[in-house]
Structure 1
Amino acid sequence: MARVTVEDCIDKLPNRFELVLLAAHRARLVSQGAPITVDRDNDKNPVVALREIADETIVPEDLREEFIHSMQKHVEVDEPEATEVPLIQQSGDMSIVNDAVDEDAPEMERMTEEDLLRGLEGMPPAESPGSQRNGY
Structure 2
Amino acid sequence: MARVTVEDCVDKIENRFELVLLASHRARQIAQGQPITVDRDNDKNPVVALREIADEQLTPDDLKEDLIHSLQKHVEVDEPEAPPQPQPAIAEGTSGTEASAEDDGDSVTFDRMSEDDLLAGIEGLVAPEKNEDF
TM-score (normalizing by structure 1) = 0.59
Q: CA deviation at 1:77?
A: 3.2
The residue number in structure 2 matching 1:67 is 67
CA distance in 1 between counterparts of 2:25 and 2:6 reads: 16
* 3-state SS of paired residue (1:14): coil
Per the alignment, residue 130 of structure 2 pairs with none
What is the distance in 2 between the residues matched to 1:78 and 1:15? Answer: 30
- Name the amino acid aligned to 2:12: K
One-letter code aligned to 2:32: Q
Whole-angstrom CA distance in 2 between matches of 1:78 and 1:23: 28
Aligned length: 96
Q: For 1:1-136, list aligned pairs within 5 A.
A: 1-79=1-79, 80=81, 97-99=104-106
> Relative to structure 1, is the Cα distance of residues 12 and 78 closer, same or farther in structure 2, using a 3 angstrom cutoff?
closer
Residue 63 of structure 1 deviates from its aligned partner by 1.0
Question: 1:61-103, CA deviations, whole angstroms, 9 ceiling, x for partnerless residues?
Answer: 111111111111112235446996xxxx979xxxx84129xxx
Note closer, same or farther for the CA distance 1:90–1:47 as it changes in structure 2 (3 Å cut): farther
Give the AA of the match of 1:64. Answer: K
Moved over 4 A (4+): 81-84
> 1 or 2, which has the higher helix percentage?
2
Larger strand proportion, structure 1 or 2? 1
Following the alignment from structure 2 to structure 1, what is the Cα–Cα distance between the partners of residues 68 and 45?
20
Q: CA RMSD in A?
A: 2.8
Q: Percent identity?
A: 70
Structure-2 separation of matches of 1:36 and 1:90: 68
**Structure number with bigger Rg:** 1
Higher relative contact order (CA 8 A, sep 6+): 2
